[in-house]
Amino acid sequence: MLLEGEVAVVTGSSRGIGAATAVKLASEGADLVINYNNDKESAEETARQVRNQGRKALIVKGNVADSSDAKNLIKKAVSEFKKIDILVNNAGITRDGLLLRMKEKDFDTVIDVNLKGTFNCTKNAIRYMMKQRHGKIVNLSSVVGSMGNAGQANYAASKAGIVGFSKAIAREVSKRGININTISPGYIKTDMTQNLPSKVKEEMLNSIPLERFGEVEEVANVIMFLVSPLASYINGQNINIDGGMLM
C-alpha cells in the first residue's frame, strides 16, 4: 500500500481518466474526494468502486472554474479528512472549432475550466500542503499543448498553459515539501475522444508508434506513481503518455 492513510482529491473524477485514477489511488490505500460538476450518477459509481477497495469516499459537486466552488471542494476535503496529501487536477472540457469560426465564449469556457480550474484548486490545496510541509500535485495537460491540433486552439492554449503554470508553482513551493508534475496524455480512449471524427482517429492512430490508443488505466498508473513515495525526487516535469506519438 504505497498511499496508506493518505487523502487524495481528484477533480472531474466521475468518469474517464479521473475515475480510473480515483480507483487506482484507492487500491494503494488512499481515501478519496470525488469531484463532479454534472454527472452525479457516475460520481456515485466511482465512489462505490473506491469503497469496494476498503477506502472512504466523499463526493463533492462543483465547477472548478468557479473560485468559490474550488475553495469549497478543498475545504470539504480537509473538513472530512483533516488533511489533503494529493491533488490531481483532471477536470477538463473541449469546445472544438476552427479559429475563424470559434466563438469567444467557447474559447473562454475552455480556458476557465482547464487552466483557471487548475489554478483555483491548486491555490486552495497548497495553503494546506504548505502548513503540512508535504503534498503531491499532478496536473493534466495534453500532447496537444505541445504539438497543437487544428480546431483546438482553445484546448491547446489551456493545456500548454498548465505546463508553464505547473513549472512556475513547483519553483515556488518545492522547498515546503510539495512536488508538482504534469502529465500529457495522447490519444486515450475516453468519452471526450471517442466523439472525434473517424478520419481524425485514423490519422492519430497512424502517428502512434505503438499502433494503438491508450487506456485510462495506463494514465492512472503513471499518476499513482507520481503521487507515491517512489517519485519523491521527480518535480516540475511534464511526462507524455502517448505511445510515442510525440518524441
C-alpha angle 34/39/40, rounded to 5°?
Answer: 60
Nearest to 126 by CA among 117, 116, 136: 136
Structural domain contains residue 2:
no
- DSSP 8-state symbol, 185: E
Q: Residue 213 in 3-state DSSP? A: coil
**Considering the entire predicted model, what is its pTM?**
0.96
Q: Is 64 contained in some domain? A: yes
Amino acid at 2: L
- Convert the pLDDT of each residue in 157-189 to its tens digit: 999 999 999 999 999 999 999 999 999 999 999
Is 246 within the bounds of a domain?
no
Q: Give φ, ψ of 13 to 5 degrees.
A: -100, 25
By annotation, the residues acting in catalysis are 155
CATH code for the domain in which residue 112 is found: 3.40.50.720
User: In this structure, is residue 124 part of a structural domain?
Assistant: yes
Total domains present in the chain: 1
Which grid cell is 208?
502512434
Domain that holds residue 162: 7-240
Beta bridge partners of 8: 32, 86
Q: If you ran DSSP here, which 8-state letter would residue 62 be given?
A: -
pLDDT of residue 184: 98
pLDDT confidence of residue 130: 97
Note whether 113 and 66 are within 8 A (CB). Answer: no
Q: Do the domain assignments include residue 196?
A: yes
Residue 197 is assigned to a structural domain of this protein = yes
Give the pLDDT confidence of 98-132 residue by residue, as tens digits: 999 999 999 999 999 999 999 999 999 999 999 99
Q: Provide CB contacts within 8 A for 79, sequence distance 6+.
A: none
In a domain, 84, yes or no: yes
